[in-house]
Every structure is written in structure tokens, then in C-alpha cells.
Amino acid sequence: MNRIKEILKEQGRTQMWLSERLGKSYVMVTSYCNNKVQPSIQVLNQIARLLNIDVRELLEPSKVES
């Protein structure tokens, strides 16, 4: 699971903005944002750079600390 949609909203950016910057179709970016398709590590890194965040902020933790 990723947090791309949440972070775009927090930053006031749109999925269209991201698709244009990535050079990917709007449909593909929407699939990333709705967690229907997970982007590759390379694409996640590119998204993180565009959003000026650490790539780890895009990911949901896979392990819950107790």
C-alpha cells in the first residue's frame, strides 16, 4: 500500500500534475493513487523527488511496532 494520494492532497497537488511530471498516463497515476497498481521502486523514487519527500513517506509500514 502506498500513500501517494494522501501526500498529493496534503501538498495541494493533483494526480494530473503528477502524471505530467512523471510522463505517465493519468490512468496509470490514478491506479497508483488508488493502490490498484504499485509503482516500481524507481517510479516511487521519482515521485518522492517530485514531491520533495523521503521515499519512505510514500509507503505504509508493513510491520506494526508493539
48: domain CATH number?
A: 1.10.260.40
How many domains is the chain built from?
A: 1
CA–CA distance, 39 with 22 (Å, rounded to integer): 11
pLDDT of amino acid 40: 96
CA–CA distance, 56 with 37 (Å, rounded to integer): 18
Give the residue numbers spanning the domain of 21. Answer: 4-55
pLDDT beneath 70: ranges in the chain: 66
pLDDT of amino acid 30: 98
Which phi-psi region, left, alpha or beta, contains residue 40 (left: φ > 0; alpha: ψ -120 to 50)? beta
pLDDT of amino acid 65: 72
**54 vs 30, 36, 48, 64, 65, CA distance in Å?**
21, 22, 6, 20, 20
30, part of any domain: yes
